Amino acid sequence: MEIEKLTALEIREGIIRGDFSCEELVKKLYKRIKVVDKDINAYLTLCEERALEDARKVDEKVKNKKILGKLAGVPIAIKDNICTDEIKTTCASKMLEDFIPPYNASVIKKLKEEDAIIIGKTNMDEFSMGGSTENSAFKITKNPHDLERVPGGSSGGSAAAVASGIAVLSLGSDTGGSIRQPAAFCGVIGLKPTYGLVSRFGLVSFASSLDQIGPITKSVKDCALCLDVVAGYDPKDNTSSKSQETISYLEGIDAGVRGMKIVLPEELLSQDINVEIKNAIEESAKKFKELGAEVEYIPLSVFNRGLSSYYIISSAEASSNLGRYDGIRYGYRTKEFKDVYELMVKSRSEAFGEEVKRRIMFGTLVLSSSYYEDYYKKALKFRENLSREFKKVFEGYDLILSPVTLDFPSKIGEKKSNLLEMNFGDVYTSNVNLAGLPAISIPCGKSTNGLPIGIQIIGDHFSERKILRAAEAFLGGAKV
Amino acid sequence: MKYETIVGLEIHAELKTKTKIFCSCSTKFGSRPNENTCPVCLGLPGTLPVVNEEVINLAVKAGIALKCKINQISKMDRKNYFYPDLPKAYQISQFNLPICKDGYIEINSKEKIKKVRLNRIHIEEDAGKLIHSENEAYSLIDYNRAGIPLIEIVTEPDLRSAEEAVAFLKALKEILEYCDISDCKMEEGSLRCDVNISLREKGSSKLNTKVEIKNLNSFKELQRAIEQEEERQRKLYALGEGHKIIQETRRFDSSKGETVSMRTKEDINDYRYFKEPDLLPILIRNEIIEKAKESIPELPNEKRERFKNLYKLNQKEIEIIVGDRSLAKYYEELVNKGVNAKIASNWLLSDISRLINENKLTIDKFPVRPDRMSKLLKFVESGKINNSAAKEVLEEMVNKLSDENPEEIIKKRGLIQENSVEKIKPIVEKVLKENEKVVEEYKNGKKQVKGFLVGMIIKATEKKANPRVINEILDEILM
């Protein structure tokens, strides 16, 4: 058994067939983690004892011929901003360094109900703010394809874990590209579902109107399988959608793209984009044509203008969402203070990282009464407009293709000093969050020096089925 | 110069729900500190609010009872500020799209009916409570109150005096209590009042700088705070120092009997309101409005009018009986069971009220319910027992807390009233003989001694004789 090569579907089948026991598998995985993760630094917390306990429960079920869950025995890594009962959930922040939630996020509950095995919690940019996982307060995660480079972010640990075969699949969260960009950088598959498809209960909020949890996997089918488990209405999340499909996302996933109408916004390729990525995208477009889809270039001027609205809205919401970390009830508390206000100010100043502070300040500014009209209100207007434009496109077309990133992952430390360039990386992904649309990032080639390139497939609200079908057709069922 | 006082009120009322506004924690008052808390109302990372539908229902009900328009699409907003009693560092409230707007309440002012307009009613969550310990370097926080649902009711600046403000708050409290929207216990903080107050020259239509006085938690405090602030501002204007009245928040120091500054406009928070992204807009279907309308009982003013016309009660009786919904309910049950309206109100306002006070009860806890009480009062009405016997029976029913019917007690104690002239007359004659001196005094014109004689005769009949018959016999003999 080469665990690093197995997909979730293969593991479930292998366990049922008796090829290997779940305990054996999990033990093997931890052995591998101890070797591989020394270089990668994908995990912040491992929960080996619990995982082995859960694995033995799965084996017990197999022995007693009980019905096994959809993710039976599948080792899963969880981004460290998704709450896990009695397991530290730090958001890679000094603020929550010792925070142990007394509850599971709804997605964790669902994974456990389907017999998945939680392996550990993965590194990320602090509170999901960043695109390189360099903003973690604890660790620098490396890109498995080039240890000198970043894995992307903010779900960098989750993507690197899957890419290096130390998790079979993982959950990330995506506010402006935080699943898709690291998936592209690490050469794996990452899906950001439609806003409202997956419950946010238990996901530590960055920007509530943009955040979504989604899977990072080695195959499109694993992605569909994981979505089957985590998607669905949750009464604990008022923004979760009631009108959802009940049949499996695996159903019809092999139907191909014949007859699908796919477009590329013209503006994408005229942008300041790495030429190797540009070529790979154009090649991919041709491939979709060969697979039977109609492919067209159309003008969609709002597509690459969403970045400032994204930063205004996400920072505004973040400034409010992160207010609760005041050192009063839980989390980091400064050692010395003379009154309660100093306690709050010092705790926040000492425990938040630079990027988090920058966004809190920016968000506070754009919501303040003197700037609200000029920034926040305008951003909301743009957001409405963007949604309208996307809607128009989807009246005539099934899917939109685009790059995921402008460039390849930077060298560790290289871009940290260039904030503008760093944040500009979200240009192709954040607009999708603003419009609440689903989008997947799948590998579509490699650079001459071996770095993976990702392509993004965007669909209309709740068109995950179509997206997965196109992705599966493109990759020809291959695992990455 | 003549000045006119301009007052507007902001009232916070806790809604009478079993659970909190965004989680299923209990709203029970007086629980152990932090007993009624959970990850949601403590604002733990990753938790999300879900609106308690009962809050919407009660807010709509309040809107209808207070003659408001209901906004069928409204939304929740975040009001951001840092304070240790606020777990999320924002309060979920409503900013520019409140659930109700444009209502009014009618109050009595100087013998006239005055309409006080309401600007809006919105829903929001309460914060926790800081407990400062005097001798310690720390404070404690109780989050039981965090997440208790509130409505904030904001008036237009239509009130012109402390008396009007008090009359308004009383009328509002009565309506909220009548409709079961809030239990309005000011001493427990479930009804709290902030005042905005400014002065202007009489006849002027411009509004001067207003001052806010926070947290007035009794009618008396409200009255005194307005009077004191009125006086403070009047003096400043009289001295030509009107500019010293600045937009600020003050509080009423009841021990000093004056208002003191808490913070000025410069310290006022920029609350950075924005739409609460964790909650969808609130859509209020017609059925909810219809249901709320049906659930509204007769309102106090309607009841006053009806009691005046139907039961011919006087103003004072109406104020007391209608002023307390439970009392009014008890009263009507008595009348509906056939008790004479006047007898019912006399007993309710005298003996029943006295027994309630003596035993530290409320009318709801009064052990003699209307069914038994009506039986007793019917004995009185029909003349089968007299008032003093009835009092005795009532006291026994209250003190013994038994379920015994008045009939049984009357029988047991032999209290059936004696109405027969033949039987009473010999006793009257006997008593007169024994009190010849008094009879003499009476005949000499000291008419007031008659009461004494009647009392002696009643006593001699073991309280059974009908006082009316005694009086008739006495009159006949003493003529």
The model's pLDDT over A291-326, given as tens digits with 9 standing for 90+, comes to 999 999 999 888 888 899 999 999 999 999 999 999
Name which of A82, A103, A208 is nearest B39 (Cβ-Cβ): A103
Chain B, 252-271: which have a CB under 8 Å from a chain A CB? 270
Q: Are residues A171 and A205 in the same domain?
A: yes
CATH of the domain at A466: 3.90.1300.10
Task: Show me where the domains of chain B are located.
Answer: 3-291, 298-413, 421-478
Task: Tell me the average pLDDT across B220-244.
Answer: 93
Q: Could you write out the DSSP letters of every residue in A156-207?
A: HHHHHHHHTTS-SEEEEEESSSTTHHHHHHHT-EEEEPPTTTB--TTBPPSS
For chains A and B, CB pairs below 8 A equal 98
Instruction: Provide the pLDDT confidence category of residue B453 given band limits of 50, 70 and 90.
Output: confident
Give, as one character, the DSSP assignment of residue A375: I
Q: What is the C-alpha to C-alpha distance for residues A3 and A169, in angstroms, rounded to an integer?
A: 12
- What pLDDT score was predicted for residue B61? 98
Hey, are the CB atoms on B46 and A324 less than 8 Å from each other?
Answer: no
Hey, are the CB atoms on A324 and B279 less than 8 Å from each other?
Answer: no
Contact B56, B73 (CB under 8 A): no
Residue A216 to chain B, least CA–CA distance (Å): 21
Query: Which uninterrupted H or E stretch holds A25?
Result: helix A22-40
Residue A422 pLDDT > 70? no
Express each pLDDT in B84-112 by its tens digit.
999 999 999 999 999 999 999 999 888 89
> A37 burial class (0-12, 13-18, 19+ CB within 10 angstroms)?
buried
Q: Are residues A15 and A32 in the same domain?
A: yes
Q: State which CATH number among 3.40.50.300, 1.10.10.410, 3.50.50.60, 3.40.50.2000 fits the domain covering B421-478.
A: 1.10.10.410
First to last CA, chain A: 17
Q: Are residues A264 and A334 in the same domain?
A: no
Express each pLDDT in A40-75 by its tens digit.
999 999 999 999 999 999 999 999 999 999 999 999
- Please indicate, yes or no, if residue A396 is contained in any of the structural domains: yes
Q: Are residues A320 and A422 in the same domain?
A: no
- Please indicate, yes or no, if residue A427 is contained in any of the structural domains: yes
The vertex-B425 CA angle with B421 and B431, nearest 5°, equals 150
Give, as one character, the DSSP assignment of residue A408: P
Active site residue A319: no
Contact B118, B154 (CB under 8 A): yes
Residue B472 pLDDT > 60? yes
Q: Are residues A276 and A318 in the same domain?
A: no
Residue B233 pLDDT > 80? yes
- What pLDDT score was predicted for residue A3? 86
Q: What is the C-alpha to C-alpha distance for residues A201 and A335, in angstroms, rounded to an integer?
A: 32
- Please indicate, yes or no, if residue A379 is contained in any of the structural domains: no
Residue B456 pLDDT > 90? no
- Please identify, among A325, A347, A373, the residue that sits at the C-terminal boundary of a domain: A373
Q: Are residues A449 and A471 in the same domain?
A: yes
- What pLDDT score was predicted for residue A418? 58
Residue A368 pLDDT > 80? yes
Q: What is the C-alpha to C-alpha distance for residues A229 and A249, in angstroms, rounded to an integer?
A: 10
Hey, are the CB atoms on B45 and A200 less than 8 Å from each other?
Answer: no
The rounded percent of chain B whose pLDDT value lies above 70 is 99
The rounded percent of chain A whose pLDDT value lies above 70 is 98
- What pLDDT score was predicted for residue A420? 60
Q: Are residues A271 and A332 in the same domain?
A: no
- What pLDDT score was predicted for residue A329? 96
Task: Tell me the average pLDDT across B444-463.
Answer: 83
Q: Are residues A350 and A410 in the same domain?
A: no
Task: Tell me the average pLDDT across B275-286.
Answer: 97
Q: Are residues A263 and A287 in the same domain?
A: yes
Q: What is the average pLDDT score of chain A?
A: 95
Q: What is the C-alpha to C-alpha distance for residues A307 and A323, in angstroms, rounded to an integer?
A: 24
B-chain residues near A340 (CB < 8 A): 84, 139
Q: Are residues A44 and A133 in the same domain?
A: yes
Q: Which domain holds residue A11?
A: 1-303+387-480
Task: Tell me the average pLDDT across A129-146.
Answer: 97
Count of domains in chain A? 2
Q: Are residues A49 and A180 in the same domain?
A: yes
Q: Are residues A458 and A366 in the same domain?
A: no
Residue A35 to chain B, least CA–CA distance (Å): 32
Residue A423 pLDDT > 70? no
Q: Does B137 touch chain A (CB under 8 A)?
A: no
Residue B388 pLDDT > 90? no
Q: Does B274 touch chain A (CB under 8 A)?
A: yes
* SS3 track for chain B: CCEEEEEEEEEEEECCCCECCCCCCECCCCCCCCCCCCCCCCCCCCCCCCCCHHHHHHHHHHHHHCCCEECCEECCEEEECCCCCCCCCEEEECCCCCCEEEEEEEEEECCEEEEEEEEEEEEEECCCEEEECCCCCCEEEEHHHCCCEEEEEEECCCECCHHHHHHHHHHHHHHHHHCCCCCCCHHHCCEEEEEEEEEEECCCCCCCCCEEEEEECCHHHHHHHHHHHHHHHHHHHHCCCHHHCCCEEEEEECCCCEEEEEEEHHHCCCCCCEECCCCCCEECCHHHHHHHHHHCCCCHHHHHHHHHHHHCCCHHHHHHHHHCHHHHHHHHHHHHCCCCHHHHHHHHHHHHHHHHHHCCCCHHHCCCCHHHHHHHHHHHHCCCCCHHHHHHHHHHHHHHCCCCCHHHHHHHHCCCCECCHHHHHHHHHHHHHHCHHHHHHHHCCCCCHHHHHHHHHHHHCCCCECHHHHHHHHHHHHC
Residue B376 pLDDT > 70? yes
Q: How far is C-alpha A127 from the chain's CA centre?
A: 13
Task: Tell me the average pLDDT across B278-307.
Answer: 95
- Please indicate, yes or no, if residue A449 is contained in any of the structural domains: yes
Interface pTM, i.e. ipTM: 0.96
Hey, are the CB atoms on A317 and B88 less than 8 Å from each other?
Answer: no
Encode burial over A311-347: b for 16+ CB neighbours within 10 A, e otherwise.
Answer: bbbbbbbbbbbbbbbbbbbbbbbbeeeeebeebbbbb
- Residue from A178, A205, A219, A284 carrying the catalytic annotation: A178
Residue B46 pLDDT > 70? yes
- Please indicate, yes or no, if residue A60 is contained in any of the structural domains: yes
